[in-house]
Amino acid sequence: RKPLTFHQLSQQIEGNVPKDKNSFYVSFDDCNTSVYTHAYPFLKQHNIPFILFITQNLIGKKNFLTAEQIMIMAKDPLCTIGSHAVNHKMFRYHTPSEASVEYEQSRRYLQQLTGQAIDCFAFPYGRRVEVSNQNIKQLHETEYKFAFSAIAGNLNQQWLSGKFYLPRVNVSERVVIRD
């Protein structure tokens, strides 16, 4: 299996290149400190690109990444930063104006913090009971290029949901990787 860079992943999502069944991408939602202390050293050692979906209001909270840790990883070419909203709340219960603030404020904040373009989003919780069609449609009207759900699947199943509600494979935090 071959890890995808963010550019390669984007190309596959946009349909500019065929989807490679032998490739994968790594992403983290919420981003607790173990991403920095355990996952990042492993990914760096093995040259595996990854996406961090950051919730703005969790930055610096107990057991979550600090702004400094995010900036360190954002400088690494292996790392791409994505938004996971301002607050980690179910989008289905946001009004359109609240959802708009969640999309745009988090994007602007993360761009200022990292100096990177923030092109992707992951819905907090991300299952269909927590994300409405209106949320997905509204996100489509933003400057994000694509977004991820918490629905199990792979990019070959993109036709199920379009590029603003992409499936992913969830890996439990209880998984232990040994060299």
Q: How many CA atoms lie within 13 A of 94 on its CB side?
A: 26
Classify strands 50-54 and 26-29 as parallel, antiparallel or unpaired.
parallel
- 3-state SS string over 30-73? CCEHHHHHHHHHHHHHCCCCEEEEECHHHCCCCCECCHHHHHHH
* Separation of alpha carbons 172 and 43, rounded Å: 17
pTM of the model: 0.91
Residues of the chain with pLDDT under 50: 179
* Each residue's pLDDT tens digit, 77-108: 999 999 999 999 999 999 999 999 999 999 99
Cβ contact 120:156 at 8 Å:
no
* pLDDT reported for residue 154: 77
